Amino acid sequence: MKKVILILMIGISVSSNSQFYKNKIQSIIKQGITTPNNNDQNISGLKSSLNIGIEKAVGTLGIENGFYNDAVLKILLPPEAQPIINNIKIVPGGQDLVDKTILSLNRTAEDAVKEALTIFKKAILNMSISDAMGILFGKDNAATEYLHQATYSELKLAFAPKVKASLAKPLVANVSTIETWNTLCLGYNGVANSTVGKISRLKTVNVDIENYVTEKALDALFVKIANVEKAIRTNPEARVNDLLKTVFGQLDKK
């Protein structure tokens, strides 16, 4: 920045009446200027915050009850399965089967997110950031939002097979989540398709459970990453390395 101002000062000394150069200096002093090196450092700092975010997100969610005991992120039955809840008394297995299904869905997410760390870190590494200053001085979750916008489709494509594999694992009572889900849906749909069900106008339930769990798990990871980003922005003690201290320390001077 000093070099830029010096060059402009020289320009003014050559043409002292140049209002253009005077305005230019005032603009630079007021707004600041990001040199290529500083821009690269800001990008690295933003990516470092996201890497720490995904590490903590996986560490928090990828354990037993990481999802199940989280009042906000706990995975419930899909909205499309509401007819099952509304008619629980006629569902074979009743509330016990619903509870087992919900536990199984959460166990699947807890198992699958363990595989998310490498996927997210690769996306963060390869992510291009053109407006580092805009993100740095943006909202408390600006970097997380940018990550979501820039990489969500890629992340979902890479993460979905991990969820599919977890759905097939016998994670609850030696029974896989996909088996438990199918038992619940087939039992209810059998009633819905019966004469009594048709008279009662019960609607059958058809849900892409793999896609549902994939999206819920990804959404939860982004929530946790955003929480870490906010902490790094607002709490100097959360800046656990020199890069974060340097980059996010700029926010303390706003």
Is the CB of residue 7 less than 8 Å from the CB of residue 13?
no
- All structural domains of the chain with their residue ranges: 1-33, 42-253
What pTM was estimated for this model as a whole?
A: 0.84
**Residue corresponding to tokens 């946790």:** 224
pLDDT of residue 155: 97
pLDDT of residue 219: 98
| CB < 8 Å & 24+ apart, contacts of 144-151 | 144/50, 144/53, 144/222, 144/225, 144/226, 144/229, 145/226, 147/50, 147/123, 147/222, 147/225, 148/222, 151/123, 151/124, 151/127
pLDDT of residue 91: 87
Q: Output the 3-class SS for 132-154.
A: HHHHHCCCCCHHHHHHHHHHHHH
Q: What residues are paired with 172 via a beta bridge? A: 175
pLDDT of residue 190: 93
pLDDT in tens, the chain (254 residues): 444 444 434 344 444 445 543 454 344 334 444 455 699 999 999 999 999 999 999 999 999 999 999 999 999 999 999 999 999 888 889 999 999 999 999 999 999 999 999 999 999 999 999 999 999 999 999 999 999 999 999 999 999 999 999 999 999 999 999 999 999 999 999 999 999 889 989 999 999 999 999 999 999 999 999 999 999 999 999 999 999 999 999 999 86
In the three-class reduction of DSSP (H, G, I as helix; E, B as strand; rest coil), residue 127 is classed as: coil
pLDDT of residue 90: 87
